[in-house]
C-alpha cells in the first residue's frame, strides 16, 4: 500500500514538472487539457456510473487539481519570462522552485496519500 502511494506521488510530481517545464514552449495548458481528457476517457471506460467515478475523484482531486493548476501557472510564467529580456531560464526556475517545493509538492503528497488509500477502498 505504501508503494502504491509512493508511485502515485512520483507520477503526480512527474506530471506537474512536465507541465511547469513545458511552459516555455507554451505547452502547459494543452498538457493540462490532455490530462482532463485522459481522466474523462478513464471514467468512460471504467463502466461505472459517471457520478460514482466523479465521486471517487473528489477526495484527492481537491488537492491534486489545484496543484496541477499551480504548475500550469508556473509554466505560463516561465513562458512569459522567457520572451522578456534577459532570457534567463535558470533564474526563472530558481525563483519558482520555492513555490513548487512549498505549495505544489505538499498538495501532491496529500493527494497521493488520499488516492492510495481510496484505491483499495473503492475496489
- The DSSP string of the chain is -HHHHHHHHHHHHHHHHHHHHGGGGT-HHHHHHHHHHHHHHHHHHH-S-HHHHHHHHHHHHHHHHHHHHHHHHHHHHHHHHHTSSS--HHHHHHHHHHHIIIIIHHHHHHHHHHHHHHHHH--
Q: Averaged over 38-61, what is the pLDDT? A: 82
Q: Express each pLDDT in 77-119 by its tens digit.
A: 887 877 776 767 777 788 889 999 999 999 999 999 888 887 6
The domain total for the chain is 1
The reported pLDDT for the residue numbered 106 is 96
The answer to whether residue 123 scores a pLDDT higher than 80 is no
Percent of the chain with pLDDT over 70: 90
Question: Which structural domain, as residue segments, surrounds residue 95?
Answer: 2-121
Contacts of 29 (CB under 8 A, 6+ apart): 72, 76
The answer to whether the pTM exceeds 0.85 is no
Q: Quote the cell numbers at residue 89.
A: 531560464
Amino acid at each position: 500500500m505504501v508503494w502504491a502511494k509512493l508511485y502515485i506521488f512520483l507520477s503526480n510530481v512527474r506530471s506537474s514538472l512536465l507541465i511547469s517545464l513545458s511552459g516555455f514552449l507554451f505547452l502547459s495548458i494543452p498538457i493540462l487539457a490532455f490530462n482532463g481528457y485522459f481522466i474523462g476517457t478513464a471514467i468512460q471506460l471504467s463502466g461505472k456510473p459517471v457520478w460514482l467515478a466523479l465521486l471517487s475523484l473528489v477526495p484527492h482531486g481537491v488537492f491534486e487539481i489545484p496543484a496541477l493548476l499551480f504548475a500550469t501557472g508556473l509554466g505560463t510564467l516561465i513562458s512569459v519570462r522567457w520572451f522578456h529580456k534577459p532570457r534567463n531560464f535558470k533564474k526563472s526556475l530558481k525563483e519558482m522552485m520555492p513555490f513548487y517545493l512549498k505549495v505544489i509538492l505538499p498538495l501532491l503528497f496529500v493527494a497521493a496519500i488520499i488516492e492510495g488509500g481510496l484505491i483499495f477502498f473503492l475496489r
